[in-house]
Structure 1
């Protein structure tokens, strides 16, 4: 799946066949198992990233109630730089091209914003930190300040980084 999902026609066919839903469900099941595999997480996030590169894939990803939550949960938890990178890239694609107030509320409710701030504080690659800063700048308005789930002092430190 990882090899064929970057191709446009394959990507659309996979989305139409329900691959996004199944991948999120697979990752949800893996998160609850004792034999959780780091490699499986990397593969699932890799395919999800490829599928979220098209509008249909992002729409299906957002349609799944646990889509954002499962990606956010894997961020900085899978102890894999590849998984962290894919998780940030998925959130970046969703926020940049499908970002709505509902997406913002979902990011806040699953504490994805706090995890993104942790990525900025970590020793992650520079391009990854730039993507995170870009996500934070996309929503840099009153939405952040009015939400009790977000520490505005922490956020303001990174909102205007370049």
Structure 2
């Protein structure tokens, strides 16, 4: 695997900044799990690296409500097999302001068997894939919901706040009185 350069992107998300890994191919990893002390000298600086500047710019525009798609190249090598197929299907077919159920995404991806009792298993498998997505929010796992509601999101209660925030940003959910996103 090629070397990965890291940047920290500030966000208005309840979880705080996002740590993003970049290779020559594109974004290879993104996570809201920012380790303490991650602001050290080993990080790319947007003012010194055009790739980092583009990532910071695009995320800033998205979180400000001025961009519907991050349009950043993705280096998919941190994913394999069914996980990659499901994530690529999601990223390619479910746009800004749209949602899809876990079961619908399982069917759309084409990687799961059909048959009695298989739909529920496939939906749960997609839920696990969403919870392990190494490219949040470039791959919009927040757009995958349960058939009977919002569903879950990695990171427990804080993760659910992030999912609600993103779905509100995209107009899927109505803003609440404490909404702190763009107006």
Normalised to the residue count of structure 2, the TM-score between the two structures is 0.31
Greater fraction helix: 1
Greater fraction strand: 2
User: Larger C-alpha radius of gyration, 1 or 2?
Assistant: 2
